[in-house]
Homo-oligomer: A and B are copies of this chain.
Amino acid sequence: MYRFPNSPKIFVDIFHFDVEKMKRKLENSELARLDVEGFKNVEKNPIILILDNIRSLNNIGSVFRTADAFLIKKIYLCGITASPPHKDIRRTALGATESVDWEYKQSTLELVKELQADNAKVIAIEQAEDAIMLHDFDIVSDQIMAFVFGNEVKGVSQEVVSACDIVLEIPQFGTKHSLNISVSAGVVVWDIWSKINALKTKKP
């Protein structure tokens, strides 16, 4: 189903790499994407995203699109986070609300406890005193990981952070305090997907 089922590890010498064959842009029809039914049936990655009181409809839609791309198991929309259908979510989700499984929950804290009772590890994405830096986080289990992304201004509440199993932080080196929340979700999903993929494709 994928165009790159067993893409070999390429060590790219950017001084002397044959690039003549890589440059024809693909039409959308050549991308071999899934349809919605195919998406529902395909095996998902053991990743859940929790949007904790997200204000921006653009951000919500953008997270749906990321979740579609990386076969995320489920998105939970909590507190003030708006739910589909909504035209401003659709504008950035571009239909990904049809493919990705989602559910609204009033209380993020209760959801965290439910998921833990269900044997998931719940991981806050926050800046905290002894947070683990994302690049130092190695996956050693195929247990389901549920990542909590917090409000654009207040982040994840201390109460929810305290209830989580782990706190992960995206290291940042500039003048600003945080990344845009849909960018944070993209970074975390890509990082975890890469690590899952590396484990799967590792030679025994």
**A173 with B28: in contact, given A183-B186, A194-B191 (CB under 8 Å)?**
no
**A94 with B182: in contact, given A12-B166, A127-B31 (CB under 8 Å)?**
no
CB-contact partner of A174 in B33, B127, B133, B141, under 8 A: B33
Query: A11, A14, A140, A145: which has the most chain B beta carbons within 10 Å?
Result: A14
Q: Are A180 and B4 in contact (CB under 8 A)?
A: no
Complex: A54 Cα to B174 Cα, angstroms: 24
Q: Are A136 and B65 in contact (CB under 8 A)?
A: no
Q: Are A174 and B70 in contact (CB under 8 A)?
A: yes
CB-contact partner of A10 in B4, B35, B137, B197, under 8 A: B137
**4 closest A-B pairs by CB:** A68-B174, A183-B186, A22-B130, A69-B172
Chain A contacts to B: CB under 8 angstroms = 2, 4, 7-15, 17, 19, 21-26, 28, 31, 33-36, 38-39, 42, 58, 62, 65-71, 92, 94-96, 98-100, 121, 126-133, 135-141, 143, 145, 155-156, 158, 161-162, 164-167, 170-177, 179-180, 182-187, 190-191, 194, 197-198
A-B contact pairs, 20 of them (CB 8 A): A2-B171, A4-B171, A10-B138, A12-B140, A14-B121, A19-B167, A22-B128, A24-B130, A24-B158, A33-B174, A33-B177, A62-B180, A65-B180, A68-B174, A69-B176, A70-B174, A95-B175, A135-B197, A180-B186, A187-B190
